[in-house]
Each structure stands twice: as C-alpha cells, then as structure tokens.
Amino acid sequence: MDNCIQENLNRTWEVYGLSFSSPCGFISPLLSGNTSPEFTYDIFCGVAAWTASQWESSRLLARSPGSPENRVEVRQWQDEVWIKFEQTACFIIRPKEIVCFIEIDDLRAVAEIDFLDAVIPMYMEMAGTPVLHASAVEVDGNAVIFTSSTGGGKSILAGGLAKRGAGFITDDVAAFTRFSSTYHIFPGYPQLRLWPDAAECLFGNRHHECIDQDWQKHRSFVNDWAEFRGASCPVGAVYILEKQETANDRVSIRPLKGHKKIITCLQNSPAFSALDIQAKADRIDFFAGLMSRIPVKQLSFPKDFERFEDVLDEIERDVRQGRA
C-alpha cells in the first residue's frame, strides 16, 4: 500500500480533547498535541479498504438518509468499525488506529473533513465520550452552544458571534466531559465551514475559500478574524435551532422543558443510532444530567440573512439576561 500524503516524521495533534499521531500533513489548522496519542491515523491511496464479501457480511450499524451517491454507512466487522462515504473515502476504526482509504489524491481535502468532523466523533462516541452536532463560542468564560441538523445555522451563528468578540471554540462537533458536577466542552480547531451564502453573509469575498471544487462548502481560518479558545470551557447554555420560512417571522427564544430538550439534542448526536443499548442509556443519562443544570432553549429565526444581525442581537441579549 502506498501512503499518499506523508511527512518525514509522525506528529502528535490534538482535537476535541483527544490526541493522535500521524505522518500525514493537514490543511486544517490543528493544534499540536501535548499528551500521549490515543490512536494513530494514516491515509492510503488507490487500494480497497475491504473486499465486497467482507462488506456484505459485516453488520450494519447506521445509514444516513438521502440519495445513494451521498450516503454514509457505518458497519461493524469483527473488532473494527467501518465508515463508507460514497464517492469520497472509506475509514476503518480499530481500538488504537484509524485508517483512511481514498481512490485518488484529489479527494484528500474532503477526506480530511470526513476524518475530523465525522470519523473522530464516531471514535470518541464508541470510546464513551458524548458528542453533539454543534458549534460553540465562549462568552464570559462559559460555552454557548448551537445545535441543529445539517444546514440549521449553527456555524454562521458561531462565526457571527466570534466576529463580535466571542471566543471561537468549535464548529460542527461538540465533545463533552464532566468534572464533578460541572459539564465542559472540549475545543475543536480554528476553522469554520460554511455554505457559500453563509460565507458571503459573514465575510463578503474575504476570509473563505472553497474546500473542494466538487463540494459546495467553504472553509474559513478563524485565527484570521477572531480569537480561538484552545482549552476546555464550562457549558453555559444550549440553543436548539429552528429556521423560519420568511424574513417576516420573528426571532424568538424560549426555554425547553421536560424530555423534549433531551430528545431533540439526542437527534443531533451524530453516532447515537450506531451505539449499543448500554451506550445509548449512558448517553441519555449524561445529557439528562447536563440539561438539568444549564438552560436549554429553542432559538427560532428567519432562514435568510436579511435579519442576521438582529438574530445575533437577540442571542447576546438572552445570554446577558441568563447571567443576570
């Protein structure tokens, strides 16, 4: 097998509170790791990750909705977890190793995002770390978290608040831990991924670039325009996002109560459906504890960007009122 992206030495990187070692170079601005790596990562080009018979005999854990050409499947074979991203990359997760397989080197940039924002969260969930599909900023020492499905607005809201002075924590992946009775979120890495219209709203023609010519999303390096918070941060509030159809719809923020807030958050847990019964029970218990201690609110706002600054004003006002 030929390693297609290699440096001279293994380096240790850190993301979401997790260290790993790799000989690969990364486009994304990852932090250097300061602890012993928990796994190794490598990427290979032009070879198959598994045989067709192995794939058919493996056990299906989860499958994303949508058309077959955009499908993501998660399967288990013996002690390995396999993740297949149609048309981009295949990954094998082992207890101390993650390996990526791509057909051509041109897929490197997209495979890197798959690894950082989908495969590592799956690895962490399988190891017992709770993860949400969410973005977050730090305001006065506490993490303000936005969670939603894909396209729900979490990245642009986090980016908008970071441009106003909030500390940027993470985009798309929020990994949690508990210290005694306090819940914390780990930092991701200083990069924001946005749909083209959201990138245009935030930056105009500056501070963003297309990740891949066949993929619509753009990337923006946060350190060019905001401050990155590279340490864990106590959770202050969680906002569950809901886009309204027209600009005439009002911006509203209301508390969520009871089981609804837990169920809604679990719907935004990227690996929940792939977990076994005990792990699912542990995850429900964790988020029930988290949400009994911090405010969880529904944020409804127009889906276009005409009132974007008004939405940010309402969030900042609500955060200030929560501290009062």
Q: What is the pLDDT of residues 265-274, one digit of tens each?
A: 888 888 888 8
Q: Can you give the pLDDT at residue 69?
A: 67
Mean model confidence pLDDT for the chain: 90
d(CA 178, CA 165): 27
Q: What is the CATH number of domain 131-323?
A: 3.40.50
All structural domains of the chain with their residue ranges: 11-126, 131-323
| Collapsed DSSP state (helix, strand, coil) of residue 65 | coil
- State pLDDT tens for residues 77-88: 999 999 999 888
- State pLDDT tens for residues 160-197: 999 999 999 999 999 999 988 899 999 999 999 999 99
Element (H or E) spanning 108, and its range? helix 108-114
